[in-house]
Structures are given as structure tokens and as C-alpha cells.
Copies of this chain bind each other. A is one copy, B any other.
């Protein structure tokens, strides 16, 4: 490792990063703002951070890579970014991923009719110069002129210290920035930099951030990074255990949360040439545990009955207290949550979809490792959460992967056999959530799997068309359906769906469906009463509504009422950033929501037993 700094060019996006010799490609990608997801946290286990080093010098393949990549792949320059260090100027190909950065049409739609009115406002004003008969203080003078626009009640010390020079250098024309009636910045003249804000969604796996110009209301930058807390466990329970059982565990998790927020904000600011001094407010959503960890609040009692958060209220903290790099007066706003397992992300979904402004019943579900369900009956709001497990995200699934090029995303029945389509028409490397759903739906239809979730045993092969029967292999618990043969796959390995995979999906969809049924029961509603069923999250953007219905994830609504709403949690954070009215509404939603604790319900287990089945 020398002191040399090299430029890494990422194609086809064209992003670049200058990094010191010896830096890993994963870090170079983060620095360049290239989304590169490494679910294993860079430990060289998941082989999902594959890139192609097209030109330039890098470190030789590690033992880990030699184990996970074929010699042919290595010869073609394929490397794992988490194992590869920069040794000179590089040109690196990264397969374009399902877009996790930037607003997607679904969210853009949610934000379309937002009336801006952020906490942070900036105006340029001309002040009447003082005279012996008008000796108002500099601050009072500014207060009086901006009474309507800023409503200044107080001032940050730094802004007060800058004020006398700013007004005089600007010859009594000054730009003033206020946050909720507090003067936070002043600059001479009328042409200062605009204040920026950010909306951040801290996921258990991925952290995404958007930067917004708070004067124009426009999104100007974005960034994404893997949550480094993943190294202590993929889910909230294992991270809670880490916090509980290590003396500095909570502190470490808090620092990691702040670190990844900083990474995402750095990327987002770099993408719009903004600077930290402009960044005045960050609105954060996430599940209750992620918010606790980001604040450094012990998650211990979230994980133990009766699952009580330290706070579920909207919480405003000085950025400096959290270690988030912003302007000196910058602050982090945690949106409120509803319960220990129904977090601010769900509040964001409810806010962004405006479901509680409807006069008819609406159901919203957000499925990740944890599944959250919200039901609005036109007057009251119920919420519940269930442990869906990570199956829908492709984890715990033998050949599961995230929705990236090469993932099987669609499976249909074509001429008596299964037909698969992959993202980007690449050779199949695995199966993602939507492919899993399609596959199971088709397998149910054809009898490859029965209503109990059993893959057809050898003695039933005669009842299946030959092409389908040929896809079945193994016995009992080892039984599996071959989707793509070893010869046709990306890596010489067959892509299969196993009996265990089916069981994982059953557990996951059963839990979500049971939660839905309990809420419907609680609200005294029938399935036919639902005017709309909203599916939030990346998952909702990809699955086919018909497959979700066939699988029994959703109750039997008409397929037309099912609508994917994309990253509605992030959109909700953005709305709360851009409008104090919406922020207020988020607090109302959190207070209004009636949390149904499924763990307490005698009827939940019974329901779950039923909803696990495919019927």
C-alpha cells in the first residue's frame, strides 16, 4: 500500500472515485455512488458483489475468490469487489442493478401533489439601515422584516455571531435561513447557497438517502449503501443481542448507523456538488429497532415481551450528538413509530399513500424480513407486524438472490413446461422474490406442489406432464424443482427450488396473511370491502399481483385493486422533509394507529396454521 491515489471509473454508469492504493473496490464503489450490494457485509461469502475489472491493475484473486469463482470467470476479469484492492487506475464494469437509488415513478407519483412547506426556509431580504431613531438590534430588524416568511423566535449562536458582519457587508441585504422559527444561518447579499435537506431510509440491509434543495423542493442527489451493522447479524434480533451482550455493542451499532448515514449523504451530496454546510435537516425513517440503534437507544426491551420502545415519538436530535456530518446547526429528525415492530417506515408508507385520507377501506402491506400490515377502515387505523423471515428477499432460499441481472423474475407455463425470464435476459444465476412467487403459483397450478406445500413425490410423477416431471429431482426433504439446468445457468450450477424453499415461503406468506386476516377481523371488515391493497417496498414493485393472490399471500381481492407503491417509506420521509404539515400528519398517524399485538392473540396461531397452506 503506497500513498498513491488512483481513479476508478465505473461503467456503464460513468461514475468515478479517487481512492488510495489498497482500497477495496466495494469502498471505491460506495465513494463513487455506485450501488453495489454486498449482503454478507463484505466477508466474501455471498459472491453477490461481482464486478468485471476491464482495465488496470488490482490485487490478485484471494483464496475466497478462487473458491467462489471459476478459473474461466477469473480469466474474464470477474472479481468480487469485496476482495479486490485497487493497485492502479481501473475501469470496472458493474452490472446495472434494479434501481435502488433515485425516485422511481411509483414514489414520484406519491410526491406529485405535495405542497412544499419545509421546516428549513431561506429568504433574501433588504433591511432598513439603523439610525439614531431606529436602534433596533440587528436580529430584531431581521425578525421584523421576516415576520411573515420566517417567523423568527430565536437564533443559533453561530448565526448571531455572523449576523452583524453579514448585514453590513451585504449593505443591509441579507440571506437568512431559519429552521422552525430559529435563525440557523445568515449570509451577506441575496445569492447564497440554498439549504439542503435529506430523507434517509435506514433499512436493516440497505440504507438509501435522497438530497433535496429546500428552496426549490427538487430532489438533487441520492445515495445508497449497505448497512454495516449486517456484520453483527442480518436481522434486528441478532443486532439486539449484539447490543445486549457486548459492553460497547450499542455504541458500536450507533456509530455504524451514523457512519452509513454519512456514507449515503456523502454520495448524495457529491452527486449534486452540495456541501455538508448546506445540509440542515435529515428526516429518517426505518424500523423501530434501526431507529433505536441510530439514536443509541437500547433495543433490549423491543425484543422482550411486552416489546416496548424507549420512545416512539418524533425525535429531533442535533446532528453532532449522533455523529452525522451536517451544518453546525443541522439536526436529525426521526419520524415517529407505532410500536416495537411497526416503525417509522410504516408511518412513512401510510403517510405517502394518503390511505387515511380515503373514505373507503384500504390495506397496505410492507414486506421485508419483518412484515407490517396497516388497515384503514375509513375512520380507524390498525397495524400489526409479523416475522415474515427473509425468504421474500431471496435469503434462506437455496438459490435466492436479490432482484439483480441474472435473477429469475418471471416463471410461466409454456407448452406444458416451465418457462423462465431473467432480469436483463442474462443467464440465470438465481431466483428473486417475484420469480419465487411466480414459480410457486405455476407449480401449484400444475400440481408440482400441493396445497400442503409438498413437492410431488416420485409416485405422483405419472400424473404430471413429462417435461414437468423431469424437473423434479431428489427425495423427501431433498426434493427440488430444477428451474434452469447447470448447462444453461450463469455459473454452471442448476438453479432449483427446493422443498425447504417452499416451506420458507409458506411460513413467510402465512404470517403475513394471518396478520391481514386478524386486522380484517378486528375492523369487522370483509375482504370484498377493500377498495385497494397497496404493496410497499421493492418487493411490491416486482411481484405479479395474480401470483400473490394464487399463493394466498393476499386475501381474495380482485387483481385490479392490488397496487405496488414502491419505496413508499422513503417517499413518506421525503414528504415529512418537504412539508411541516405532512410531518404533523405523520405524528397524527403514529398516535392514531391502533397496534394489534399478534403475540397476544389466541386466534393468531390458529389462523397461521391455516394461512400457511396454499388454499
Residues on A facing B (Cβ under 8 Å): 130-140, 143, 154-155, 157, 160-161, 163-165, 168, 295-298, 300-301, 305-313, 315-317, 321-322, 339-340, 595, 597, 599-600
Assembly CA distance A597 to B161 (angstroms): 25
Give the residues in chain B near A137, CB-CB below 8 Å: 308-313
CB distance from A295 to the nearest CB of B (A): 7
List 13 extra interface pairs beyond A132-B600, A138-B301, A139-B310, CB under 8 A: A135-B307, A136-B312, A137-B309, A137-B310, A137-B313, A138-B310, A138-B311, A154-B316, A157-B296, A161-B295, A161-B296, A161-B298, A164-B300
Assess the A599–B132 pair: CB atoms within 8 A: yes
Give the residues in chain B near A131, CB-CB below 8 Å: 306
Assess the A140–B300 pair: CB atoms within 8 A: no
CB distance from A192 to the nearest CB of B (A): 19
CB-contact partner of A138 in B160, B308, B317, under 8 A:
B308
Interface pairs (27), CB distance under 8 Å:
A130-B306, A131-B306, A133-B597, A135-B308, A135-B340, A135-B595, A136-B308, A137-B308, A137-B312, A138-B301, A138-B309, A138-B311, A139-B310, A139-B311, A143-B313, A154-B315, A155-B313, A157-B295, A157-B296, A157-B315, A157-B322, A160-B297, A160-B310, A160-B315, A161-B295, A161-B298, A164-B300
- Of chain B, the residue at the smallest CB distance from A312 is B137
Residue of A165, A301, A308 contacting most chain B CB atoms (<10 Å): A308
- Of chain B, the residue at the smallest CB distance from A168 is B301
Assess the A313–B595 pair: CB atoms within 8 A: no
Give the residues in chain B near A163, CB-CB below 8 Å: 310-311
Give the residues in chain B near A140, CB-CB below 8 Å: 311-313
CB-contact partner of A135 in B134, B322, B339, under 8 A:
B339
Give the residues in chain B near A161, CB-CB below 8 Å: 295-298, 310
Assembly CA distance A599 to B301 (angstroms): 66
Assess the A157–B317 pair: CB atoms within 8 A: yes
Assembly CA distance A321 to B329 (angstroms): 12
Q: Given A160-B311, A317-B157, decide whether A305 and B132 contact each other with a Cβ distance below 8 A.
A: yes
Give the residues in chain B near A160, CB-CB below 8 Å: 295, 297, 310-311, 315
Q: Given A132-B600, A311-B137, decide whether A164 and B297 contact each other with a Cβ distance below 8 A.
A: yes
CB-contact partner of A313 in B134, B139, B322, under 8 A:
B139
Give the residues in chain B near A138, CB-CB below 8 Å: 301, 308-311
Give the residues in chain B near A132, CB-CB below 8 Å: 305-307, 597, 599-600
Assembly CA distance A288 to B599 (angstroms): 62
Assembly CA distance A135 to B340 (angstroms): 8
Assembly CA distance A165 to B298 (angstroms): 9
Assembly CA distance A163 to B301 (angstroms): 12
Give the residues in chain B near A164, CB-CB below 8 Å: 297-298, 300-301, 310
Assess the B135–A306 pair: CB atoms within 8 A: yes
Assembly CA distance A312 to B164 (angstroms): 13
Assembly CA distance A306 to B141 (angstroms): 14
Give the residues in chain B near A165, CB-CB below 8 Å: 298
Residue of A296, A313, A339, A595 contacting most chain B CB atoms (<10 Å): A313
Residue of A295, A305, A311, A599 contacting most chain B CB atoms (<10 Å): A311
Residue of A140, A295, A305, A339 contacting most chain B CB atoms (<10 Å): A140
